[in-house]
């Protein structure tokens, strides 16, 4: 089975992929769009992408991709994130800190407190940051300890994220809908009529009066007009469950567009 993910090797995405499937052949891609396209076009069986972090919130680029593809979400992985500061040099010599924007955001207060004068640069991945830090002893990367091992760096400080309970949720895209397990989640994307007062309240009421638990709601600009949004909603249950099937049917009359992104087994925080 071919499982594609954002590369290069030595990232949290690779850790999540290994947690999802230890036997899959991992195919590393240059960007998140390529991961989605590879699954959509059948070049890979599954693809794994980060969708939200408990400190930094949603990954907007992935939310946008979900609107454009037909491949369903078939699973999720919740990965505890422990960020490390790594370098060829010593703590005293660090002048530049590099990493992916999400990782830098997760360590914002640590950087401000311990390296107030350092230049902070963004990279496409935490692994790419580690590869850059190989070149200069005054440069440090932020990422997972696996990156330090792969690129021959010293872990100068471990667990530098600003809050100890740091988790990233990854979604798995596949070719075929996941069957019900009795412990499922369904993800929806909804575009409401912006001119109708109380539209969102009315929409969410279909879940409430059926006692369907909503676990997440995020807004994302529609890119059409200022103040115009898509809403991404996660609810407990599978789309084939009677109550949720009934709710989805009722909701189609209350919005401009409703897209079921997938029903899949819920992952629990370990």
At residue 194, the pLDDT reads 61
At residue 196, the pLDDT reads 67
pTM of the predicted protein model: 0.84
Q: How far is CA 250 from CA 56, 75, 125, 215, in A?
A: 33, 26, 42, 20
For the cut 80, the answer to whether the pLDDT of residue 219 exceeds it is yes
What tokens does 208 get? Answer: 């409430």
pLDDT band for position 203 (50/70/90)?
Answer: confident
At residue 268, the pLDDT reads 81
What residue has token string 């505890």?
Answer: 80
pLDDT band for position 146 (50/70/90)?
Answer: confident
Cα-based angle 187, 143, 18 (whole degrees, multiple of 5) = 55
For the cut 90, the answer to whether the pLDDT of residue 43 exceeds it is yes
């Amino acid at each position: 089975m071919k499982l594609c993910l954002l590369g290069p090797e030595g990232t949290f995405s690779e850790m999540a992929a290994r947690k999802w499937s230890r036997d899959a052949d991992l195919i590393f891609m240059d960007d998140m769009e390529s991961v989605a396209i590879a699954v959509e076009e059948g070049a890979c069986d599954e693809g794994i992408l980060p969708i939200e972090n408990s400190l930094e919130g949603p990954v907007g680029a992935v939310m946008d991709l979900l609107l454009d593809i037909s491949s369903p979400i078939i699973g999720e992985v919740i990965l505890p994130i422990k960020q490390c500061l790594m370098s060829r040099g010593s703590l005293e010599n660090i002048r530049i800190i590099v990493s992916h924007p999400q990782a830098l955001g997760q360590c914002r207060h640590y950087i401000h407190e311990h390296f107030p004068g350092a230049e902070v640069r963004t990279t496409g991945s935490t692994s790419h940051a580690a590869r850059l830090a190989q070149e200069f002893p005054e440069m440090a990367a932020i990422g997972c300890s696996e990156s330090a091992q792969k690129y021959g760096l010293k872990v100068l400080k471990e667990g530098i994220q600003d809050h100890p309970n740091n988790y990233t949720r990854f979604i798995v895209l596949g070719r075929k809908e996941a069957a019900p397990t009795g412990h499922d989640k369904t993800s929806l994307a909804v575009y409401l009529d912006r001119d109708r007062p109380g539209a969102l309240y009315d929409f969410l009421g279909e879940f409430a009066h059926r006692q369907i638990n909503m676990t997440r709601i995020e807004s994302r600009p529609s890119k059409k007009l200022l103040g115009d949004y898509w809403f991404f909603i996660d609810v407990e249950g599978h789309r084939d469950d009677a109550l949720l099937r009934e709710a989805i049917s009722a909701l189609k009359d209350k919005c401009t567009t409703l897209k079921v992104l997938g029903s899949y087994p819920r992952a629990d925080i370990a």
